[in-house]
Structure 1
Amino acid sequence: MNTSKNRWIKKVAVLGSGIMGSRIALHLANAGIPSLLLDIVPKELTPDEEKKGLTLQSKEVRNRIVNQSLTNAIKSNPSPVYSQKFVSRIETGNFEDDMHKIKDCDWIVEAVVERIDIKKTIFDQVEKHRKPGSIISSNTSGIPIHLMAEGRSEDFRRHFLGTHFFNPPRYLPLLEIIPTPHTDPEIVDFFMHWGDRYLGKTTVLCKDTPAFIANRVGVFGIMAIFHAVRDMGLTVEEIDKLTGPVLGRPKSATFRTADVVGLDTLIHVANGLYQALPHDEQRELFRLPDFIQKMQQNNWLGDKTGQGFYKKIKNPDGSSTILSLDLNTLEYKEQKKAKFPTLEQTKNIDQLSDRYRVLIEGQDKAGEFYRRSFAALFSYVAHRIPEISDEIYRIDAAMRAGFGWEHGPFEIWDALGISKGIELTRSQGYTLPEWVTQLPAKGIEKFYQTTSGTQQYIDINTHQYTNRPDLKGIIILDHRRSTSTLWSNSECAVIDLGDGILNIEFRSKMNTLGSGVLAGINKGIELAEKSFRGVVISNQGTNFSVGANLMMVYMMAVEQEYDELNFAIKYFQDTVMRLRYSHIPVVVAPHGMTLGGGCELVLHADAVQAAAETYMGLVEFGVGVIPGGGGTKELTRRSALRYIKDDIELNVLRENFYKIATAKVATSATEAFEFGYLIEGRDRISLNKNRLISDAKNLAISLADAGYTMPTRDKFKVLGRTALGMFAVGIHQMVEGGYATEYEAHMANKLAYVMAGGDLSEPTLVSEQYLLDLEREAFLHLCTQRKTLERIHHMLNTGKPLRN
C-alpha cells in the first residue's frame, strides 16, 4: 500500500457511525484494513439500561450509539460486508473516551452530520490527537471542503481533502477525491491510486464545487425529470419504464431510486444546490416542484416512511400490491403497464449505443421525452466544463460509477455524433458553450476515439485527442475488439491481450453457455497451445454467465431428442476437461452472477481471478437437474482431496452435497472461498472490477513464467454404499421435516448416486471420466421427467424457481 515515498495506510479512524460511517468502516474491513469507529456518547439511559442498573459512565452505555449503528449496518440487506468474519476488523468507541486512539491511525475520515459547526468541533479534537503526516478527510457531499480546513495548522491543511464515498460503499464504486488549494499534490496522487487499487474504487478527481461531479449532474437529471413529468402528462411508472434498463440504467430507474435513497436526501441536495448556484443557467430546475413539497409535508419520503412514489399494500388474501402515486391528485392508484411504440422498436437492439438514435427519433411521447431529456443533459454537462471538471471523461466516469449509468453523458452524445447532439440540443431551446460548437468545424465528430486499444478523449483547450490517464493499466475489451480479435462467432470471441495471453469473451445473451461459446473456448485453447503462453476466460458483461442455455436444453427434452441432448452435455463436459487438461495455463475471471455452467468453468480453471462482487453457485436443482457440466464430479473430487481420516470423509461429502441440493450461492468472492468454490493460496480477488482482466492476465503470465505443466489425471476415492446410506438418511429427514418435496427427494437421490460413485460395495478409486458418465446419465434421466420440464418452463417464463 505504498507510493514512491513509501506511504502506508495500516489503520483508519472513521469518525461518525451513521449510515455512511458504519458502511465505510465495513468496506475498509472488506479490503483487509482495520478501523476505529467512533461516535458520540448518549446523554440519557434507555429503559433497558436502567433495568440493568447501568449508568451513563458504563462502557456499554457510552458505546451504545456506535455499536447499535454498526449492528444495524451489518444486518442491512444487501450485506455491506463480504464475510461476517471481517467485522472483527472494526474496533468501536466514542469521541470522549477514545479519540486519543486516532494517533495510531494513518487516515482519519470524518462522516458526521452535515453541519459545518459540528465538523469543525470534531476537527478540533483531531488536531489535538492525530500524528503529524496522517491524512484527514471529510466524506461530506454538500459542504465546501476548503471551509473545513480554515484555521487549521499547516500540517493539517497539507494532509486534508475530501473523500466522498457513494452509498452503499461496497456496491457503488465511485470515490470522489476533492483537494483544497492547500492539499499536498502527493496526497492527492496517493489517494487516487490507493482508492483504486486497495479499496476497489473508481477514483474521480473533482473540483471543490457544490455537490462535486456525480451529484451535481445526477441530481440535475432527476430534478429535470421531476419538472418534465407533469408537463408531458407522463406517469410515475411510465417515467421509470423510460429511464431504466432501456437507457442502460438501473432497474430502479428514477422514482423507485428516489424511494430507495429517500426523498429527504434528494430534497436536501437539491435545496443546497439551488442556494449555492445563483449563476447556474439551469438553476430553476433545482427548485422543488409543488408535488415534491407536498410529499415532504406528508412525510412520504420513500421506503424509510413506508410510502413515496410507490406504496405497498396488503390484500385481504395476504398478497401484496404496489401502487403508484398520481402526481396530479397525490392519490395512490393501481399501476398501469407502460407501453410506447418507440420502446418496442428497440427490443431487438442489443447494443445500447445503437439504441439512442432510435429513441430520439420516436414520434410518440417517449421520443418527445428523450429529445427533451438528452438536450437538457447535453447542455448542462457542456456548460459544466471547465466549472466542475477540466476533462470530459471525469464526468462520464463519475456517472457510471456513482449512478450506475452504462454510458456517461458525453458517451451518450458520442453515440449520436457531436453535430447531431448540437442540433438536438438547440432544437429543444437549450444553449451550448463555444468549446463544443467549435468542434465540428474542426472536423471533430467524437469526444472519444480508440487507438491501438487505448481510449483517448478530446482536450477542450488543444482540441487534440489525449490518452485517458484513468484507464492506464486497465484492459477494456471494447477498445481492443476491432484490432485484436483473432477468431469469433456470434456468441464468442478470442482476443489477443498482448504478452502472449489470449482472452476468450462470451457474447451470448446473458452470457449463456451454448454451443457457440463452447466452440470459442475450445478454439481459444487450441490457438494458445499453438502460439501463445496462456488463456484468460472473462468478459465485461453485467454478469460472467448465468449458466447453460436453458432454452436449448428444454427444447431438446420436450422434443425427446435425447441423443442430441446427451451429445450437448458431453460437449460441455469435454470442454471443461479441455480447459483443465491443456498445455497452457487457463485463468477464469468471473464477476457478478456466475451460476451453473459458469461456476463449472471456474471449478475447472488452473487458477481464478475473481471480482470481489462475484455471486457463484451450482443452482441447477432450481430447474430440476443436477450440475451436468462437471460440477457434481468436481465437488465430489474436491471432497476426496480434503479427506484426512475416515471420520472426516462423510462430513466433507455431505457438506458439498447440500451445497448442490440447496442451490447455495456465495454472495461474494470471499464467501466463494469459504464454500470451497475458490481455493486458498491459488485463487485471487480483484477489488476493482475494472482491473479484473488485467489482473487475470498478470496471473496467467505468472503461471507461465513459473513453468506451467498440465495436471496429471489422478484417480480419487469415492465411498459407494457408505455414502449412499448417509445420503438416504439425510434426504428422508429433509422430506419428513417439510424441507424437501417428494420430487426434490428423487432429484437428491440421483445426485447422491453420482456423489457416492454409484452402488459400490466399498470405497474405490475412480477416474474423473467415470463420475462424468454417472453425472451425465443422471442429468439425462431428470430431463425425461415431467416435473423437471415444469421447473425449466417456469424458470424460462418467470425467471424464478418452481418447487413441485
Structure 2
Amino acid sequence: MSYQGDKFRKCGVIGAGTMGSGIAAHMASCGVDVVLLDLDGQLAADGVARQVKSGGFMMPEFAARVATGSTRTDLGLLQDCDWIVEAVAERIDIKRALFAQIDTVRRPGCIVSSNTSTIPLAELVAQASPELAGDMLITHFFNPPRHMRLLELVSGPRTKHETVERATHFMDHVLGKTIVPCKDTPGFIANRIGCYWLAAGLGEALKLGISPELADAVMGRPFGFPSTGMFGLWDLIGIDLMPGLIRSLQHALPAGDAVQAYEAEPELVAAMLAQGLKGRKSGGGFYRQSVDRRVKETFDPATRTWRPRETPVLPQTGAAALIASDTLAGRYAWAVMSRTLAYAAALVPDIADRPDQVDTAMRLGYAWRAGPFELIDQLGPAAFVTRLAQDGQAVPPLLAAAGADGFYGQAHGQRTVLVPVGAGAMRQPVAQPPGVIALPALRLAGSPVFKTEAAALWDIGEGVGLFEFRTPMNVFTPALLEGLRQALVETPRHFRALVAGNDGRVFSAGADLKGMLAMSEKNDRAGLAHFITEGVDTFTSLAAAPFPIVGAAGAMALGGGCEFLLHVGADALHAEAGIGLVESRVGLLPGWGGVARWLLRHHEAGFPPDEAAKQVFAGVMRGVAAPCGFAAQAQHLIRPTDRVVMNADRLIATARDWAIDLAAGFTPAAPPAVILPHRTVLAEVLAQQQDSLPPHDRVLGAMLVEILSGDAKTPVPLAEITRRVTESFLEIVLTGPTRARIAHMLETGKPLKN
C-alpha cells in the first residue's frame, strides 16, 4: 500500500465520543475505510449510530465503511492503517499508554496523531520511541468535523518532514480541510484567542451590567461574528464546559498572560450550573423557550430570573463607529474587542508565524467574517493603537509596527501581510496553497477579458476561461444572461474551454424572483415571455457550445442555478453544495429546460421511460434539493462521471484541469430526445396524491402530467418538453397563488403552502 499523498486507504480513530466518531464519519464520507475503537465495541457502534442520526455522514450508507471494535481486543485492526487518530480523554497518562499500545501494532510509516486541544505535542511524545515520535502530530479538528473546515496542525522537532507533507496533502485534498500550521503552545490558535474572547466577553458584560441581548447584538453583525453572539455562544458550547476550557488555558499559561485576568467560572455561572442551566443541551442557559414553548426567554444576570427576550436595535454603523460611540454598547464593544485584538497581536509569532494564519484560523474555527488582524485594519490601526495607549493597555510590538498602513496591503498584483522577522517586521505575499485558483487573487493580478455589473470573464491559464456571476446571490437577471451570452461568444476567441464558477455562499439562487414578481404584478406577460425565452435560448446554447463548459459549484445551486448545471457538459460540485429544482416552492415550474434535462439524466442512467418520468414528476413537485454532492449524484442531478470535490478552495482548479482534458477532441452532443410515457401513468400518480396536495400544487401537478406525457414510443425532443414548460410557466406565473408564494419567499426565505 502506498503512503504518498492522497493514496491513504484506511484510517483508524480511537475514541468514539462526539469528536472521535465525527472524525471517523467524515473520513468515511471522503471514501476512506475506517476502524473506530473505544474501550467497548458497543460504545464504538453507538458512536457510529449517533453520527448517522446527527448527519455526521454525508450519506447514511457511508457508515458501512466504518468497522468498530474494542481497544482491549481489536487493536490488531489498526495494523494496516495509514493514519491513526487518537481522540480520547484529555489525560496525558491515558494518551501516552495508548500511544505505546499503538506502536506495537502500527505498520512502519503509519502516521499517528492526537486530536488534543490542551496537551502539547512535546509532552505527548516525551516517552515515545524515536520511530513513533517521527510519525506523530497533533491534528486538531473542530466540531462537527464534517462541516468545520479548519484543521490546526502541530509538528515538533522530532516529527519527520515527510510525515508533515503526507498528512497535509491527505487532509487537504481528500478530507477537504484548510490546514493551518500552529506552534506547540496551549490552545494553539483558534481556541487560544477564542476562549480569551469568550472569557472577556462574559467578564466585561458582568462588569458593565449589559444585558445578554445587547451584548449579543454587539458581538454579532457589527464585527461580522455569528448571530449567536457572546451569551448565545456560551449556551451553544455549554455553560458547564466553558469554565473547564478557560481554566485549562489558565493552568497552562504563565501568570502574566491576559487570560488570567478573568474568572473561569464567575459566581453567576456557578449559580446557573447549580440550577442545572448548562446551555442549549439542557433546554436553557442564558436563553430558553418558555415552558409552553410560546415565548423566548432570557435568564437575567441581574435579577437571576427568567424574563421575555428583548430585541435591542443598534445603529446601522460599522464596528469603528460603534466602539467610538459613548454608549453602553460602544463601551462594551471597546472593552471586549480592544483586549481581544491586542491579545491576538501579542501572540504572533508565539502561536503562529504569520497574522494571516491567525486570521484564517479564526474565520474557519469561529466563523468570524474577518480575522483579528483584518478587523484591526478595518478599525484603523493607527487610531486603534492611540486609543489602546490612552486606555492604559499595552501596545504589542507587531501592532506598533503596522502603523497607519495596517497589516494587509498589495504589491505586484498580490495581497501582502506584515510578518514579524527577528526584532522587526516586513511585508510578504499572503500564502496560497499550490494549485489553488481563487477569484480574489485573480482580481488583484490582472484585468478580465470583459467585466460588467453582472458578470466577468477571466483567464485562469492553460487556455481556460472562468465565467464569474456578479449579481446579488448570483441570481440570473437579464444582465447576467446577457453576460453569459457574451462569454459564449468571447470564449472561442481566447480559450479552448470554459469554467463557470464564483466565490461566496451561493453558486446561484436561480432566476431573479424579485424582477419576475414585479412583472407578474403588472400582468406583463410579454416581459415575462421575453425573460423566459432568453433564459431558455441561453441555456440551450450552453449545451450546444463547441467547446467544453464545466460548472464549478462551490455552494448552493438552486432553481436556475441547478438548471445551469444540468445544461453544461460537466460539473464539479463541492461535497457540501446543495443543488435542486426548487421552483414549486414558489409556485412555479423549472422554466429554463431543467425538467427536460433532468429527465434526460434519468434516461442516461438506465431508467425506463415510465420510471424516469415518475422520478422527475415527484422531484419537481416536492421541490427536490440534494443536500450534498453525493446526494446530487444519487438523484441524478449531476452525472456519475461528474466530480465531487472535498476542498472548496480547489474547486475551480479541479474544474479547469478537467476542462483541459475534455477539450482534446471535443465535439458537442447532438440535440437529444426521450420517450415519454402515456398520460395515464402520471395522471394516476397525481390522483394518488391529490388529497394531500395544496390547491396550487394540484395545478402544478396537472401541468406536469401534460408536460411529461407522450405516446410511449415516439422520441420527443427536449426542446418540445421545454416548450410545454414555457407555456405552462407563463400561465402559472401570472396567478395570485404564485405571486403570494414568491412574495412570501422573498420576505421570509421560507416556502408558503397555498
The residue number in structure 2 matching 1:328 is: 302
Q: Which amino acid aligns with 1:251?
A: S
1:290 partnered with 2:267: yes
* Contact 2:5/2:166 (8 A) holds in 1: no
SS in 1 for 2:498: strand
1:338 partnered with 2:300: no
Partner of residue 229 from structure 1, selected from 174, 198, 205: 205
Decide whether aligned partners of structure 1 residues 451 and 190 sit closer, same or farther in structure 2, where only a CA change above 3 A counts.
farther
Alpha-carbon offset, residue 627 of structure 1? 0.8
The residue number in structure 2 matching 1:134 is: 110
* Contact 2:409/2:417 (8 A) holds in 1: yes
The residue number in structure 1 matching 2:751 is: 801
Deviates more, 1:618-627 or 1:568-577: 568-577
The residue number in structure 1 matching 2:33 is: 34
- What whole-Å deviation, never above 9, does each CA across 1:87-128 have from its counterpart, x for those lacking one? 111000001110122111121111111122222232232122
Distance 1:167 1:252 in 2: 16
Distance 1:713 1:312 in 2: 57
Distance 1:240 1:470 in 2: 34
* Contact 2:38/2:70 (8 A) holds in 1: yes
Q: Which amino acid aligns with 1:201?
A: K
The residue number in structure 2 matching 1:743 is: 696
Q: Which amino acid aligns with 1:663?
A: G
Q: Which amino acid aligns with 1:586?
A: I
Distance 1:748 1:197 in 2: 43
* Contact 1:374/1:425 (8 A) holds in 2: no
The residue number in structure 1 matching 2:614 is: 654
Alignment of 1:244-643 (within 5 A): 244-277=220-253, 278-285=255-262, 287-315=264-292, 320-341=294-315, 344-345=316-317, 355-362=318-325, 364-440=327-403, 445-451=405-411, 453-461=413-421, 463-482=425-444, 483-643=446-606
SS in 2 for 1:146: helix
Distance 1:674 1:584 in 2: 27
* Contact 1:235/1:327 (8 A) holds in 2: yes
1:766 partnered with 2:678: no
SS in 1 for 2:506: coil
SS in 1 for 2:229: coil
Alpha-carbon offset, residue 669 of structure 1? 0.4
The residue number in structure 2 matching 1:351 is: none
Alpha-carbon offset, residue 8 of structure 1? 4.5
Alignment of 1:44-59 (within 5 A): none
The residue number in structure 1 matching 2:219 is: 243
Alpha-carbon offset, residue 205 of structure 1? 0.8
Aligned length in residues: 750
The residue number in structure 1 matching 2:650 is: 691
Distance 1:222 1:6 in 2: 38
Decide whether aligned partners of structure 1 residues 742 and 360 sit closer, same or farther in structure 2, where only a CA change above 3 A counts.
same
Q: Which amino acid aligns with 1:336?
A: E
Q: Which amino acid aligns with 1:177?
A: L
Partner of residue 71 from structure 1, selected from 46, 49, 52: 49
Decide whether aligned partners of structure 1 residues 507 and 325 sit closer, same or farther in structure 2, where only a CA change above 3 A counts.
farther
Decide whether aligned partners of structure 1 residues 716 and 175 sit closer, same or farther in structure 2, where only a CA change above 3 A counts.
same
Deviates more, 1:196-205 or 1:304-313: 304-313
Alpha-carbon offset, residue 147 of structure 1? 1.3
Deviates more, 1:473-482 or 1:584-593: 473-482
Alignment of 1:83-122 (within 5 A): 83-122=59-98
Distance 1:211 1:432 in 2: 23
Distance 1:623 1:162 in 2: 48
* Contact 1:452/1:480 (8 A) holds in 2: no
Alpha-carbon offset, residue 230 of structure 1? 3.3
1:716 partnered with 2:679: no
- What whole-Å deviation, never above 9, does each CA across 1:353-398 have from its counterpart, x for those lacking one? xx44444444544444433333222211111012111211111111
Distance 1:231 1:572 in 2: 59
- What whole-Å deviation, never above 9, does each CA across 1:292-336 have from its counterpart, x for those lacking one? 222233221112111112112353xxx533212212222222112
Alpha-carbon offset, residue 455 of structure 1? 3.0
Gaps of 5+ in 1: 42-62, 346-354
SS in 2 for 1:294: helix
Alpha-carbon offset, residue 795 of structure 1? 1.3
SS in 1 for 2:313: coil
Partner of residue 676 from structure 1, selected from 620, 623, 636: 636
Distance 1:748 1:573 in 2: 22
Q: Which amino acid aligns with 2:513?
A: L
Distance 2:356 2:147 in 1: 22
Distance 1:141 1:283 in 2: 19
Distance 1:572 1:368 in 2: 52
Decide whether aligned partners of structure 1 residues 450 and 716 sit closer, same or farther in structure 2, where only a CA change above 3 A counts.
farther
Distance 2:454 2:298 in 1: 40
Distance 2:6 2:559 in 1: 43
Deviates more, 1:470-479 or 1:403-412: 470-479
Distance 1:492 1:232 in 2: 48
Alignment of 1:115-194 (within 5 A): 115-194=91-170
Distance 1:6 1:611 in 2: 20
Q: Which amino acid aligns with 1:754?
A: I
Distance 1:687 1:172 in 2: 12
* Contact 1:641/1:716 (8 A) holds in 2: no
* Contact 2:585/2:752 (8 A) holds in 1: yes
The residue number in structure 2 matching 1:23 is: 22
* TM-score in terms of structure 2 length: 0.95
Q: Which amino acid aligns with 2:103?
A: E
Alpha-carbon offset, residue 642 of structure 1? 4.1
SS in 2 for 1:254: helix
* TM-score in terms of structure 1 length: 0.89
Deviates more, 1:507-516 or 1:302-311: 507-516
Q: Which amino acid aligns with 1:786?
A: G
Q: Which amino acid aligns with 1:548?
A: A
Q: Which amino acid aligns with 1:468?
A: V
SS in 1 for 2:499: strand
Deviates more, 1:363-372 or 1:189-198: 363-372
The residue number in structure 1 matching 2:58 is: 82
Distance 1:363 1:709 in 2: 67
Partner of residue 702 from structure 1, selected from 661, 669, 673: 661
Decide whether aligned partners of structure 1 residues 422 and 196 sit closer, same or farther in structure 2, where only a CA change above 3 A counts.
same
CA RMSD for the aligned pairs? 2.1
Alpha-carbon offset, residue 188 of structure 1? 1.7
Decide whether aligned partners of structure 1 residues 252 and 508 sit closer, same or farther in structure 2, where only a CA change above 3 A counts.
farther
SS in 2 for 1:629: coil
Decide whether aligned partners of structure 1 residues 785 and 330 sit closer, same or farther in structure 2, where only a CA change above 3 A counts.
same
SS in 2 for 1:460: strand
* Contact 1:548/1:597 (8 A) holds in 2: yes
- What whole-Å deviation, never above 9, does each CA across 1:27-49 have from its counterpart, x for those lacking one? 110111111101113xxxxxxxx
Distance 1:201 1:514 in 2: 34
Deviates more, 1:769-778 or 1:237-246: 237-246
Q: Which amino acid aligns with 1:516?
A: A
